[in-house]
Structure 1
Amino acid sequence: MELSEWRRDPGSSCRLSSAVAAACRGEPCTLGVDEAGRGPVLGPMVYGICFCPLSKQQQLQDLKVADSKTLTEKERERLFANLDEAKDFIGWALEIISPNVISTSMQQRTKCNLNTLSHDSAIGLIQYALDSGVQVSEVYVDTVGPAEKYEAKLKQRFPELEVTVRPKADSLFPIVSAASICAKVARDHVVQSWKFIEDLGDINLDYGSGYPNDPKTKAWMASHVDPIFGYPQFVRFSWSTAQTILDNRAVPVHWDDDDEEDASKKDTPSVLSYFQRKSEDPKVQPHRFFTERKLVSLANL
């Protein structure tokens, strides 16, 4: 899977897509929607769509697509290659939503929760298919939140389409299974090839499954938090797992209009102390905030 477009700016969202086959422009099509990476505290969430003409659904089933969660990585890679090679009647599109976009959306002044972010991504991909000339007539979606409400929302947005939203749609409808495989393969590739823009030295890449309840993931996060700047962009800092570690390990911020600081926090180092010249640990790499601005510590002015 070609990820060069995503690599230009891994801190934002990115859309990837296949070419649209002539058959998809000229015949009524079925379209499936699914995601990968909704729950992890590490890495992006990826939404995917897959579409093909109604007349080619048997050929799609012959590819033996299945819910990506039931497949091994090798099986997913093989099936994605088969889907990508069937470009004369199958197309796909993906939206890679970075951890940074997820967290800032959830913590901005006008908050956007994960369900809303998911719905907006699915709607955007369906609209993208329509704008690309795909003759979509029916849509199948793996639900996020109550299926009935989500289905009503999509029907209101796309009244001309036949919309079906179901729990576990990726195991019920082959076109959703195909979308699930595309999304999962894309997320796996992004996570495996993630380039840390932060200077973390000899970073340990053994971070486990990436899910909040994984002890290995928690240990990795605890050892890669900066007391001033927090986490690398690989981490969804809005997750409660990340917030708990930040509360325990990061320097607290005191605002002038806050009440008197709790007496128990008097021994906490000041933020200014982290900008002072130190010599006791020369192996610690400066945060990218300093290196990008070419800032260095000075002993004398």
Structure 2
Amino acid sequence: MVQHWNLFAECPLECGPTFEHFAFGDPCILGIDEAGRGPVLGPMVYACAVSPISKAENLKCLGVDDSKVLNETKREKIFNEMSTDSTTQKVVSFAYRVLSARLISAAMFRRNKYTLNDLSHESAIELIRCALDRGINISEVYVDTVGPKASYQEKLKRHFPGISITVSEKADSLFPIVSAASIVAKVTRDGLLKEWKFEEDGIVVPPEGFGSGYPGDPDTKKFLKVAVDPVFGYPSLVRFSWKTAELALEKLAVQCEWVTEPDSIRKSLIHTKKPVPPKRCSFFTDRYISNVVEF
């Protein structure tokens, strides 16, 4: 883990209307999933969903499933119920963080780099911690595998020794609480991209838009070709740390080369001051006593 850098300073937690003190102390399960891990465009959204253990079976009645299986209309309907329906809000609540493309790139380009797995692990840990800090009694946690399963599960157990932790492949398909988190993350990210407002002026966007953001999407490929500035590169929508963006910049942008100065020049810049002789004791200077080197 990288020290001395607050990863989440610029991406505050966004909570559902009933997340604070959800279930009023009843034991709850919590599921975590993300959306936008692979795209070269846009943010990655990490979300959690919580449900009382006594009502966890009711999640199936909502029709939750892996967000990739559900169509857009169904995902938005379920998310709307989670956000506004008073009956549904007794069954499930949620919270999420939006990790911007700029933050992802900055993390991966640091001298002490965050990998994408590091970002995912820290996001999951922070979501669990935020739920606990808001008075939710978390008994069980279910998370999709990111990196080696065993080491990830042990990492979470070290942080939360009193909670049952399950890290599993296809968790968004196996556990409805993770499916609910998957829907929150997917709907949130899709909504952000639909309403995207560029911070930069003069960005060229093809009539068909910038696509899904995945490197293989033809619309995304076209956007990466026309939106590049030869000096400043891409707008903040683009993850500069992705190989797709790096290769495109090599072809389409002005190349710059950082030259390392010779050691002799660096040393002369470092050692510019003459050495200062040590100051003599006032006892000798007040009495005008000097060192005698010859008799």
> TM-score when scaled to structure 1?
0.79
1:14 has 2:39 as partner: no
Shift of residue 91, structure 1, vs aligned partner? 1.3
1:50 has 2:38 as partner: no
C-alpha separation in 2, matches of 1:26 and 1:256: 60
Amino acid at match of 2:59: L
Q: 1:217 aligns with which of 210, 217, 220?
A: 220
Q: Provide runs of 4+ in structure 1 moved above 4 Å.
A: none
**Contact 1:21 1:89 survives alignment (8 Å):** no
C-alpha separation in 2, matches of 1:209 and 1:258: 43
Tell me what 2:229 maps to: 226
Amino acid at match of 1:55: S
1:158 has 2:156 as partner: no
Structure 2: give runs of 5+ residues left out of the alignment. 1-8, 263-295
C-alpha separation in 1, matches of 2:170 and 2:235: 33
Tell me what 1:59 maps to: 58
Q: Which has the larger radius of gyration?
A: 2
C-alpha offsets along residues 222-270 of structure 1, whole Å, 9 cap, x if unaligned? Answer: 11011111100000011000000111111112334379xxxxxxxxxxx
> TM-score when scaled to structure 2?
0.80
**Contact 1:47 1:122 survives alignment (8 Å):** yes
Tell me what 1:270 maps to: none
C-alpha separation in 1, matches of 2:131 and 2:54: 18
**Contact 2:142 2:171 survives alignment (8 Å):** yes
Q: 2:148 aligns with which of 146, 149, 152?
A: 146
Tell me what 1:195 maps to: 197
Tell me what 1:292 maps to: none
Q: 1:244 aligns with which of 232, 243, 247?
A: 247
Residues 78-97 of structure 1: pairs in structure 2 closer than 5 A: 78-84=77-83, 85=85, 86-97=88-99
Amino acid at match of 1:15: L
**Contact 1:218 1:241 survives alignment (8 Å):** no
Shift of residue 82, structure 1, vs aligned partner? 1.9
Residues 27-176 of structure 1: pairs in structure 2 closer than 5 A: 27-84=26-83, 85=85, 86-176=88-178
Structure 1: give runs of 5+ residues left out of the alignment. 1-10, 260-301
Number of residue pairs the alignment of both structures matches: 249
C-alpha separation in 2, matches of 1:212 and 1:20: 35
**Contact 1:230 1:246 survives alignment (8 Å):** yes
Tell me what 2:282 maps to: none
Amino acid at match of 2:247: T
RMSD of aligned residue pairs (Cα, Å): 1.8
Amino acid at match of 1:226: D
Tell me what 2:290 maps to: none
CA shift in 2, pair 1:120/1:21, >3 Å: closer
Amino acid at match of 1:189: G
C-alpha offsets along residues 183-217 of structure 1, whole Å, 9 cap, x if unaligned? Answer: 00100111111110111256336122211122321
1:254 has 2:257 as partner: yes
CA shift in 2, pair 1:246/1:23, >3 Å: closer
